[in-house]
Amino acid sequence: MDAVSDKTYFEAIPAEDCWQLLHAQGVGRIAWANSEGITILPVNHAVVEDGIIIRTTPTGLLGELAHDVTVAFQIDDVDTETQIAWSVLVRGRARELTEAERADRSMTIPEPWAGGERNLLLRISVEQISGRVLSGE
């Protein structure tokens, strides 16, 4: 074992705390497999009930996710001074919101940092959520 792994500790984050972290962050990364291989992109997001909402353009790479695609979504934070890091990982399926879902005015819609028209709303249905904290001595 090397010196780094001798003093490193992993601890699971309870699911309830993972949801709180998802609510607190506004940016994460979404990953999926496409014809070019695994693709990972940063996205703005909002959490609603048991899902994650992303707003994008139908003509970009994320437009591929409108049709029931298996995805992973991750948020994290790293503090190099304290050597503490955490990560939350969601696994699920992405699809375009239905008209009924789009009509729900109480739903939080994220405001993307990327410019241009972003009228495609995607929902990631959370099938599995897990988190880990990494800390040194």
Say how far apart CA 54 and CA 45 lie, in whole Å: 5
Looking at residue 137, its pLDDT comes to 59
Q: Where along the chain do its domains lie?
A: 3-136
* Secondary structure of residue 5 in the 3-state scheme: helix
Looking at residue 7, its pLDDT comes to 57
Single out the residue of 26, 41, 12 nearest to residue 129, CA to CA: 12
CATH superfamily of 3-136: Electron Transport, Fmn-binding Protein; Chain A (2.30.110.10)
Per-residue pLDDT 10s for the chain (137 aa) are 344 445 567 899 999 999 999 999 999 999 999 989 999 999 999 999 889 999 999 998 999 999 999 999 999 999 988 889 999 999 999 999 988 888 887 778 888 888 788 889 999 999 999 999 998 75
